[in-house]
């Protein structure tokens, strides 16, 4: 009998194709609500979830499940404690979308710096001359980028910003080994150094209970009035009400957000109506190339666990 893997949501077929070519059965999920996941998983040995939540209720109710291979790097959608109790291995595809997210962060840095929203909206409205008059972008060359979280993505952003755009880099990461930090990065131990000095702040740390809403009113008050916040990590890192207030009050100049809390953001959120805010729908990690890498990486992760091979990207 071959192993069966549940693919919960649409993804690149590269992973499922690889699984079938290697003797696995692939089952496509019918939905991501708890009840449907439990039903779908009854006859499955592994699962590849994207945003589907692997809760304790799901894990406890699926005794055949042996591996959860997260399509992407974040595992905040997986109850790790429950997996530990039930002996379910968890792997991810760490790094598969790092380039995509890093490029996206730079896109948002540039969009904020050049006030892209304003220019595009006015030009689209037929106001060519007014748009040109409003063009008051700043150069990012020579400016300081503050990087929170110096992991897979943070490192790439720092390299792109420094090597490609001549930015100065400050980084804060309490778990990062100083010897692993390139010369051009000033690793700071006091996060306030970043709020006080950076022209752009970009978030690349995992969301935890400890850092929930860790960027709030106090931090915005410290930031330069000309500074912008970029969040391509997780919405929960930022106190959104405080962000809205800081943008309204002119405490900071703008924000580029690929992640909000909740997701999707409320259609009535003032963030959608602010000209100095650019928002994308949590798609930073989704490029053609990264989708293929994530799908294939997750498929191979299932195989590694189920056949006892060394695991490329273990979580648990
Ligand atoms: N927008 C998207 O589509 C997308 C895609 C992939 C990942 N992400 C998110 O990007 C973030 C970074 O992902 P990654 O792959 O680089 O993860 P990673 O684990 O490689 O790096 C995270 C880094 O954050 C550091 N860190 C932890 N707590 C911190 C804190 N309180 N302050 C500063 N640093 C802290 C860790 O030491 C680690 O070096 C995660 O939140 C992830 O969920 C978003």
User: Which atom belonging to ligand 1 lies closest to the Cα atom of 94?
Assistant: 15
- Examine residue 264 and say whether the peptide bond preceding it is cis (omega within 30 degrees of 0): yes
As a whole number of angstroms, the distance between CA 146 and CA 188 comes to 10
In this prediction, what percent of the chain has a pLDDT beyond 70?
Answer: 100
**Residue among 234, 240, 251, 293 flagged as catalytic:** 234
In which band, very low, low, confident or very high, does the pLDDT at 234 lie, cut at 50, 70 and 90? Answer: very high
DSSP E strands in 92-244: the ranges are 144-148, 168-172, 185-187, 200-203, 228-231
DSSP 9: S
Whether residue 55 contacts residue 34, with contact meaning beta carbons closer than 8 Å, is answered with yes
Whole-number Å distance, alpha carbon 181 to ligand 1 midpoint, is: 16
pLDDT, residue 128, reads 97
SS3 82: helix
pLDDT tens-place string over residues 265-276? 999 999 999 999
pLDDT, residue 75, reads 92
In which band, very low, low, confident or very high, does the pLDDT at 37 lie, cut at 50, 70 and 90? Answer: very high
Whether residue 306 contacts residue 67, with contact meaning beta carbons closer than 8 Å, is answered with yes
pLDDT, residue 73, reads 86
As a whole number of angstroms, the distance between CA 26 and CA 48 comes to 10
Query: Which residues have C-beta within 8 Å of that of residue 89, sequence separation ≥ 6?
Result: 66, 67, 68, 83, 305, 311, 314, 316
SS3 194: helix
User: Which atom belonging to ligand 1 lies closest to the Cα atom of 234?
Assistant: 41
pLDDT, residue 141, reads 98
50: which 2 tokens? 């994207």
SS3 70: coil
Nearest in space to 191 (alpha carbons), one of 223, 168, 165, 163: 223
pLDDT tens-place string over residues 248-260? 999 999 999 999 9
In which band, very low, low, confident or very high, does the pLDDT at 239 lie, cut at 50, 70 and 90? Answer: very high
pLDDT, residue 156, reads 98
**In this predicted structure, which of 84-88, 205-209, 238-242 has the lowest mean pLDDT?**
205-209
In which band, very low, low, confident or very high, does the pLDDT at 68 lie, cut at 50, 70 and 90? Answer: very high
Sheet with 67-69, edge to edge strand ranges: 25-28, 4-7, 46-48, 67-69, 89-91
As a whole number of angstroms, the distance between CA 287 and CA 45 comes to 28
Whether residue 34 contacts residue 49, with contact meaning beta carbons closer than 8 Å, is answered with no
Nearest in space to 284 (alpha carbons), one of 144, 134, 37, 105: 105
pLDDT, residue 24, reads 98
pLDDT, residue 1, reads 66
Whole-number Å distance, alpha carbon 32 to ligand 1 midpoint, is: 25
Mean pLDDT of the chain: 97
pLDDT, residue 74, reads 85
Indicate if 263 belongs to the active site: yes
Whole-number Å distance, alpha carbon 94 to ligand 1 midpoint, is: 10
Indicate if 234 belongs to the active site: yes
């Amino acid at each position: 009998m071959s192993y069966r893997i549940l693919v919960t949501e649409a993804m690149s077929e590269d992973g499922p194709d690889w699984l079938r070519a290697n003797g696995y059965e692939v089952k496509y999920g019918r939905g991501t609500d708890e009840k449907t996941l439990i039903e779908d998983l009854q006859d499955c040995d592994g699962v590849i979830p994207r945003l589907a939540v692997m809760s304790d209720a799901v894990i406890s109710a699926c005794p055949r499940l042996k591996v959860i291979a997260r399509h992407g790097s974040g595992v905040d959608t997986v109850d790790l404690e429950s997996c530990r109790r039930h002996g379910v291995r968890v792997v991810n595809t760490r790094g598969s979308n790092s380039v995509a997210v890093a490029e996206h962060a730079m896109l948002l840095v540039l969009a904020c710096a050049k006030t892209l929203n304003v220019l595009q909206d006015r030009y689209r409205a037929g106001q060519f001359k007014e748009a040109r008059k409003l063009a008051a972008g700043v150069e990012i060359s020579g400016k300081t980028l503050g990087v929170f979280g110096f992991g897979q993505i943070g490192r790439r952003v720092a390299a792109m910003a420094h090597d490609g755009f001549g930015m100065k880099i400050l980084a804060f990461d309490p778990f990062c080994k100083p010897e692993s930090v390139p010369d051009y990065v000033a690793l700071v131990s006091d996060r306030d150094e970043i709020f006080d000095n950076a022209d752009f702040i970009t978030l690349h740390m995992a969301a935890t209970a400890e850092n929930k809403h860790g960027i709030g009113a106090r931090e915005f008050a410290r930031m330069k009035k000309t500074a912008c916040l970029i969040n391509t990590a997780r919405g929960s890192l930022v106190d959104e009400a405080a962000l809205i207030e800081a943008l309204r009050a002119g405490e900071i100049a703008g924000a580029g957000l690929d992640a909000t809390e909740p997701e999707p953001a409320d259609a009535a959120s003032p963030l959608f109506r602010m000209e100095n805010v650019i928002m994308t729908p949590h798609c930073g990690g989704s490029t053609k190339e990264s989708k293929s890498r994530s799908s294939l990486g997750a498929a191979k992760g299932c195989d590694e666990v189920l056949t006892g091979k060394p695991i490329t990207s273990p979580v648990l």
